[in-house]
Amino acid sequence: MEKIEQCRLALLAAAQELTQKGYLSATGGNLSARVPEENMMVITPSNYSYMKMTPEDICVLDLNLNPIAGERKPSIESGMHAAIYLTRPDVNAVIHTHQAYPSTLAIIGKPIPPLFDEQVVFLGDAVEIIPYAPSGSNELRDLVAKQTRSGNNAYLMANHGALLLGNNLERAMFNAAVLEKCAVAYLLALCSQEKVSTLPAEALELSYARLHEDYKKLFSK
């Protein structure tokens, strides 16, 4: 139980920090973390203020969505989170935000091309858009599971928000900050109506190789 309680505390701290940054608002969005060495995850509850939340409010489920602990109703997106953990063994934290700038790109159908070295190193070659499906639906779960197989760590969700993945909560939160920078820069560039400069192919290849080198180090431990 100690591992579970540590995960609940860490998830609560992350949720409140993301709320203070404006990446989550009111009760919107959700986040989860895999419980180490267990077929379980901790996930935020549905429709409950992050700033009022306590560790006991964090739900604990197995990856088949059977409840383990917590009296509140788990996030409506629990199936989506579980599907990612089952699809991506490298992922130990999932954050679904409603960040304004990534959300804007998601509703105008503009995936983010490779603009910066750190974007490609930490997020992947481009930030693609997952097609729209209703929140909490099996259709959305399946679309997310399929698209996240690409191995990238950030996605836009059409008419919905953004999805960040990481090998731990700290990295997933860092990836949210990288995505914010990229989304702001790309939106401003589009508004300028000037040509948007993307990374040259050789720089893109080198940066993407660094992302996959991180995976090799992770799984060689």
5, 38, 77, 118: which is the annotated catalytic residue?
Answer: 77
- 180 catalytic? Reply is no
Q: Give CA–CA dist 18/132, Å, rounded.
A: 24
Q: Would strands 154-157 and 67-69 be described as parallel, antiparallel, or unpaired?
A: unpaired
Catalytic sites, residue numbers: 77
